[in-house]
Amino acid sequence: MMNDELILAIETSCDETSAAVVRNGRHVLSNIVSSQVESHKRFGGVVPEIASRHHVEQITIIVEEALNEADVSFADLDAVAVTEGPGLVGALLIGVHAAKAIAFAYDLPLIGVHHIAGHIYANQLIMESFHFPAIALVVSGGHTELVFLKEHGAFEVIGETRDDAVGEAYDKVARTIGLPYPGGPHIDRLAAEGEPTISLPRAWLEPDSYDFSFSGLKSAVINTVHNYKQRNEQLPINDLAASFQASVIDVLVQKTKRAASEYGVKQIVLAGGVAANKGLRTALKDSFAEWNVEVSIPPLHLCTDNAAMIGAAASLKLRTKQFSGYDLNGNPAIDLEQW
Ligand code: KG4
Ligand code: ZN
């Protein structure tokens, strides 16, 4: 029986300041998330400078809160983990410096974690164990990727977006139809009340490609909005949201199914902020209902950015002693396969 491992994890890659304490890579003892979304709303997106300033103000408070809620002290910890990248460099740096200071002060191993590895490992917080081989469908504000996992930590990116990330497309479409930032949840809600009656494109790309493209779809939605305006007609906003969402989900689900079949996987794991999308969650579950493949979908609070997912991924590196040095830096362009 192994001793309990306690990891303090920190996530500051974008607009949430988060700290968590995770036991044995699976049990969340605390997961404090402080969102700055109200400060960015009026700009229609995340302003990097504002994000950094909020992180500076929040980080020590949030770390303290995470320890308090977990009822542990720095001395109880086995490691401190932090998102190294990708993300906004100024935002990443706040978390990295906080983690380094804690590691130095308490003589703890320091573990840099890839943000997307974190999103994928959020699934470890809700199940006994992964069933390999697996495919992760990663859908967030900055990423849209199909990742093949032969085993723990062996990430192979088999497809990615060639232009906009799916969350980015959601947010831009939402902005065009006058919805507040972040627009994903609003479109999701409107889509449930509409019908996909408006014909919109689906970018399948080459028949054997697992890549994605959402900029054509985004432009088609923007053109549709302009056409309605020009004709002075009321925009069927629910139907437009439903049609956009149907197009996105259709492509995501079909490509995931093809990958699952080609790679003979035992499990599909959904990851990233857009995994909170109700339409996508239902479609993915339904489409694998007849297959002998498990579908793992984290609850909403573990889909959007949070530090517990970083702690889950870090436990892998703690076990294999893949530690970072004090030269750890925020790295916006870090590669998932080399994580
Ligand atoms: O993973 P995340 O929290 O941050 C990044 O790492 O990017 O993802 C944020 C993205 C935003 O684009 C937001 O609009 C989208 O996730 N999102 C959604 C939903 N909830 C959040 N998109 C569609 N439907 C949702 N329910
Ligand atoms: Zn994220």
| Ligand 1 pocket residue status of 276, Cβ below 6 Å | yes
Q: Residue of the nearest CA to atom 13 in ligand 1?
A: 184
* pLDDT for position 20: 98
Task: Look at residue 3 and tell me whether its pLDDT is greater than 80.
Answer: no
Confidence of residue 38 (pLDDT cuts 50, 70, 90): confident
d(CA 61, CA 32) in angstroms, rounded, equals 10
Residue-level pLDDT at 47 = 86
Q: How confident is the model at residue 151, as a pLDDT?
A: 97
Mean pLDDT of 179-195: 96
Question: What are the DSSP calls for 131-189, one per residue?
Answer: -SSEEEEEE-SS-EEEEEESSTT-EEEEEEBSS--HHHHHHHHHHHTTPPSS-HHHHHH
> Residue 2 — very low, low, confident or very high, per pLDDT cuts 50/70/90?
low
Q: What pLDDT is attached to residue 174?
A: 96
Q: Which residue has the higher pLDDT, 69 or 49?
A: 69
> Is the confidence at residue 80, as pLDDT, over 90?
yes
Whose CA is closest to atom 16 on ligand 1? 273
**Average confidence score pLDDT of the chain:** 96
Q: What is the CA radius of gyration of the chain?
A: 20
**Mean pLDDT across 212-218:** 97
CA of 292 to the centre of ligand 2 (A): 29
The answer on pLDDT for 219 being more than 70 is yes
Q: Cis peptide leading into 133, omega within 30 of 0? A: yes
182 lines ligand 1 (CB under 6 A): yes
Pairing of strands 144-149, 79-85: unpaired
Output the pTM of the full model: 0.95
Q: Give, using CA atoms, the residue closest to atom 2 of ligand 1.
A: 273
Residue with tokens 């579950």: 285
Amino acid at site 224:
T
118 lines ligand 1 (CB under 6 A): no
Burial class (CB in 10 A: 0-12, 13-18, 19+), 242: buried
Over pLDDT 90: what percentage of the chain? 92
Ligand 1 pocket residue status of 86, Cβ below 6 Å: no
Query: Could you give phi then psi for residue 264, rounded to 5 degrees?
Result: 50, 50
- Note the pLDDT of residue 231: 96
| 295 has pLDDT over 70 | yes
Residue 272: nearest ligand to its CA? 1
Instruction: Please name the residue whose Cα sits nearest to atom 8 of ligand 1.
Output: 273
